[in-house]
């Protein structure tokens, strides 16, 4: 039996014990991380590294798109934003254009911060209702 190192075990436990809301925030944080790494790689002329990080960011966006519950109007709006971000990243990856990645990074940070704030408000409301 192969055992994971302690960090891998910790990461697995975090994922297994997190709420769906916390997992979504983790994905947003990962999206921001990979976009930042993509920008750095373009600046350093590390094109393969840039490509790989942009692809990782796209996979997160595609996961967001695939898991939206389209019964809600907000989901349709989010889908449009995610679709725009994904198309911009395709263009950025083809051109290795740092400015486009930074544009998407700004949107990703806004979405992450909004999600984080919504989680906080929901938590505060739950405490107030108890």
Checking if the pLDDT of 14 tops 90, the result is no
Question: Would you say residue 4 lies in a domain?
Answer: no
Would 5 be classed as within a structural domain? no
The two tokens of residue 117 are 């704030």
In a domain, 111, yes or no: yes
Read off the pLDDT of residues 18-39 as tens digits, 9 standing for 90 and up. 899 999 999 999 999 999 999 9
pLDDT value at residue 15: 73
Range of the domain at 32: 22-129
pLDDT at residue number 33: 98
Residue 2 has pLDDT above 80, yes or no: no
Residue 109 within a domain: yes
Longest dimension (CA), the chain: 54
Q: Please give the share of the chain, as a percent, with pLDDT higher than 90.
A: 80
CB 21 within 8 A of CB 114: no
Q: What is the pLDDT of residues 91-111, one digit of tens each?
A: 999 999 999 999 999 999 999
In this structure, is residue 3 part of a structural domain?
no
pLDDT surpasses 70 at 112: yes
Q: Where are the alpha helices (DSSP H) in the chain?
A: 6-17, 20-43, 47-67, 73-95, 98-129
Q: Which residue has the tokens 């930074």?
A: 102
Question: Average per-residue pLDDT in the chain?
Answer: 93
First to last CA, the chain: 46
Number of domains into which the chain is organized: 1
Domain presence at residue 61: yes
Give pLDDT, residue 81: 98
Confidence tier at 5 by pLDDT (50, 70, 90): confident
Sign of CA pseudo-dihedral 81, 87, 91, 96: positive
Q: Is residue 8 part of a domain?
A: no
Whether the predicted pLDDT of 8 surpasses 80? no
Give the domain CATH number at 118. 1.20.120.340
CA-CA distance, 21 to 112, in Å (whole number)? 11
pLDDT at 10: 64
Please check whether residue 10 lies inside any domain of the structure.
no
Q: Is 24 exposed, middle or buried (0-12, 13-18, 19+ CB in 10 A)?
A: buried
């Amino acid at each position: 039996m192969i055992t994971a190192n302690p960090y891998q075990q910790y990461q697995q436990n975090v994922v297994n014990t997190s709420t769906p809301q916390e997992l979504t925030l983790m994905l947003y944080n990962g999206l921001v991380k990979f976009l930042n790494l993509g920008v750095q790689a373009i600046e350093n002329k590390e094109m393969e590294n840039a490509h790989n990080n942009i692809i990782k960011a796209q996979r997160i966006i595609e996961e967001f798109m695939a898991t939206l519950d389209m019964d809600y109007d907000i989901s349709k709006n989010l889908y449009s934003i995610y679709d725009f971000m994904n198309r911009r990243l395709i263009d950025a990856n083809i051109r290795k254009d740092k400015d486009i990645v930074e544009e998407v990074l700004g949107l990703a940070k806004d979405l992450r911060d909004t999600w984080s704030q919504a989680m906080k408000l929901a938590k505060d409301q739950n405490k107030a209702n108890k």
